[in-house]
């Protein structure tokens, strides 16, 4: 019996040791590790195909595909950077890059990227990945927030259907939501599990900026009239008009879809990529449409944090890594990635692809918004994650649920918020 136990232990140890890391091969082709966060079936397939195509065409620079996870990506990357074991090519989002860029973990791509790629992506997109004087990521996929609406309810209520050329104003949107409401039914459902980024990004349409950078480069929070438009609309829809339920304020976008399909909500503001889930889950006879988010004084402008590709500062083959990124983001390839993720490409050439201008699934509406997308307001603000978690999220949640008023919201965002930001700007 003891012999058997000892044998089993030895086998287990051997198996564990057998699965240990092997050494790097020397003198062979260069190997780049590419950590991709693509997760939907189509986007994973598209990414893997592109990696295979690269490997077939570049036998001397092999790319190893590693599937990462959006869940915990920041901590995983931070630890890998600190330990000097980060992937060579890193997929992330621009709002996660600031600390890595300022911390010196990412390579400055300014001189590594070819002119074709630099000129093929608009300056407003490059701004999302520019920190200080350097470019630390290539923005390649983005998604505006749109209104997914029940086409039958809109028709029945005889409301004007907005288009990117003639969008609703925020006031008009509020009126429409009221008209679409009835007993047990709501005109709109706001899934605001992440209330800060949603509010801040949409507030750009009304001229809201919230973060103001002074001449000395220091950022302070100032809650102006433009910042109040979207926040007040949501608050009033929930607490005054009752055209939006309070129950969805803590929900994620997916949680609102059953209510949307079941007729409880006529409209749901969601990210553009949610269409994939809607196509999968909507009942066969359910007719839905994609509408632009309401416009404010600044039109349809809204903030986005594009997905990015970066190169680790420790990568010994930065030129090759940049060449791989350039290959991955050629216009045709960018379209493949965008279609796989149900998002919009940032590249101007890619945006002209006919597949992105079809009326089916609202592609054309989203593509029409691409020119109005700007860097999310908090993009390069150091201390933003702490300000968001400790100050802004609870403050907005309390305001939307009616627990505090606009003055209290302003006071907390500014007074408490500036104390937090000051610690990062000493």
Partner 1 sequence: MTATRPRRSVRLPRSGRPAPRQRSTPRKRLAPGRPPAPRRRTRRAARAGQYAALLGYLLFLGFPLLWLLSTALKSPRELGSLHPAWIPRDPTPANVRQAFAEQPLAHAALNSLLVALGTAVVAVLIATPMAYVMARHRTRLARAATGWVVVSQAFPFVLVIIPLFLVLKNLRLIDSLLGLTLVYVVWALPFALWMLVGHVRAVPVELEEAAAVDGAGRLRTLVSVTAPLLGPGIAATALFAFVTAWNEFFFALVLLKSPGRQTLPVVLTHFIGAEGVADLGPLAAAAFLATLPSVAVFGILQRRITGGLLAGAVKS
Give contact residues for partner 1 (rule: CB under 8 A). Answer: 9, 12-13, 15-17, 19-21, 33, 37, 39-41, 44, 65-67, 69-72, 75-76, 78-80, 82-85, 87, 93, 193-194, 252-254, 257-259, 261-264, 271, 273-274, 277, 280-284
Q: Which is nearer to partner 1, 67 or 220 (CB)?
A: 67
Taking the complex as a whole, how short is the minimal distance between the CB of residue 99 and partner 1, in angstroms? 14
Question: Among 94, 1, 91, which residue's Cα sits nearest to residue 51?
Answer: 91
Tokens describing residue 216: 């000395």
Taking the complex as a whole, how short is the minimal distance between the CB of residue 257 and partner 1, in angstroms? 5
Determine phi and psi for 23, rounding to 5 degrees.
-80, 165
**Order of strands, sheet of 145-150, starting from the edge strand that comes earlier in the sequence:** 186-188, 265-271, 145-150, 288-292
Determine phi and psi for 343, rounding to 5 degrees.
-120, -175
**3-class DSSP state of 181:** coil
Taking the complex as a whole, how short is the minimal distance between the CB of residue 25 and partner 1, in angstroms? 14
From the CB of residue 212, how many other CB atoms can be counted at a distance below 10 Å? 12
Decide if 97 contacts 312 (C-beta within 8 A).
no
Taking the complex as a whole, how short is the minimal distance between the CB of residue 65 and partner 1, in angstroms? 8
Taking the complex as a whole, how short is the minimal distance between the CB of residue 103 and partner 1, in angstroms? 13
Question: Among 59, 24, 21, 53, which residue's Cα sits nearest to residue 316?
Answer: 24
Question: Among 394, 397, 386, 393, which residue's Cα sits nearest to residue 419?
Answer: 386
31 has which bridge partners? 62
Taking the complex as a whole, how short is the minimal distance between the CB of residue 217 and partner 1, in angstroms? 29
Q: How far apart are the first and last CA of the chain?
A: 66
Helix axes 225-239, 170-179, angle to 10 degrees: 0
Tokens describing residue 272: 């553009």
Taking the complex as a whole, how short is the minimal distance between the CB of residue 270 and partner 1, in angstroms? 10
Taking the complex as a whole, how short is the minimal distance between the CB of residue 7 and partner 1, in angstroms? 13
What's the CA dihedral at 395, 397, 401, 403 to 10 degrees? Answer: -30
Question: Among 187, 234, 231, which residue's Cα sits nearest to residue 206?
Answer: 231
Taking the complex as a whole, how short is the minimal distance between the CB of residue 78 and partner 1, in angstroms? 8
Q: Which is nearer to partner 1, 76 or 220 (CB)?
A: 76
Question: Among 160, 154, 149, 114, which residue's Cα sits nearest to residue 135?
Answer: 114
Q: CA–CA separation, 363 vs 368, rounded Å? A: 9
Q: Which is nearer to partner 1, 226 or 248 (CB)?
A: 248
């Amino acid at each position: 019996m003891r012999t058997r136990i000892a044998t089993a232990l030895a086998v287990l140890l051997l198996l564990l040791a057998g699965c240990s890391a092997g050494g790097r091969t020397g003198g062979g082709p260069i190997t780049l590790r590419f950590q991709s966060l693509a997760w939907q079936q189509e986007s994973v397939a598209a990414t893997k195909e592109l990696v295979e195509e690269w490997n077939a065409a570049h036998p001397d620079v092999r790319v190893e595909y590693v599937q990462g996870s959006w869940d915990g990506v920041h901590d995983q990357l931070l630890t890998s950077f600190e330990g000097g074991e980060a992937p060579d090519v890193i997929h992330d989002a621009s709002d996660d890059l600031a600390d890595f860029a300022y911390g010196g973990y990412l390579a400055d791509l300014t001189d590594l990227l070819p002119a074709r790629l630099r000129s093929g992506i608009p300056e407003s997109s490059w701004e999302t990945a520019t920190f200080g004087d350097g470019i630390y990521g290539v923005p390649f996929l983005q998604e505006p927030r749109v209104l997914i609406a029940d086409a039958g309810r809109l028709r029945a209520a005889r409301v004007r259907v907005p288009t990117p050329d003639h969008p609703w104003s925020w006031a008009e949107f509020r009126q429409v939501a009221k008209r679409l409401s009835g007993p047990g039914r709501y005109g709109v459902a706001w899934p605001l599990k992440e209330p800060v980024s949603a509010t801040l990004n949409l507030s750009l349409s009304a001229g809201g900026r919230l973060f103001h950078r002074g001449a000395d480069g220091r950022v302070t929070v100032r809650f102006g009239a433009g910042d109040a438009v979207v926040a007040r609309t949501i608050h009033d829809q929930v607490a005054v008009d009752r055209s939006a339920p309070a129950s969805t304020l803590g929900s994620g976008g997916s949680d609102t879809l059953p209510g949307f399909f079941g007729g409880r909500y006529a409209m749901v503001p969601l990210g553009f990529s949610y269409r994939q889930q809607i196509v999968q889950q909507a009942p066969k006879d359910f007719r839905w449409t994609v509408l632009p988010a309401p416009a404010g004084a600044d039109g349809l402008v809204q903030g986005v944090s594009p997905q990015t590709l970066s190169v680790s500062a420790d990568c010994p083959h930065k030129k090759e890594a940049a060449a791989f990124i350039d290959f991955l983001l050629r216009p045709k390839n960018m379209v493949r990635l965008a279609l796989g993720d149900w998002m919009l490409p940032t590249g101007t050439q890619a945006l002209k692809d006919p597949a992105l201008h079809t009326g089916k699934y609202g592609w054309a509406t989203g593509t029409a918004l691409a020119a109005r997308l700007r860097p999310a307001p908090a993009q390069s603000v150091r201390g933003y994650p702490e300000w968001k978690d400790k100050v802004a999220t609870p403050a907005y949640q309390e305001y939307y649920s009616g627990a505090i008023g606009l003055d209290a919201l302003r006071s907390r965002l500014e007074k408490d918020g500036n104390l937090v930001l000051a610690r990062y700007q000493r």
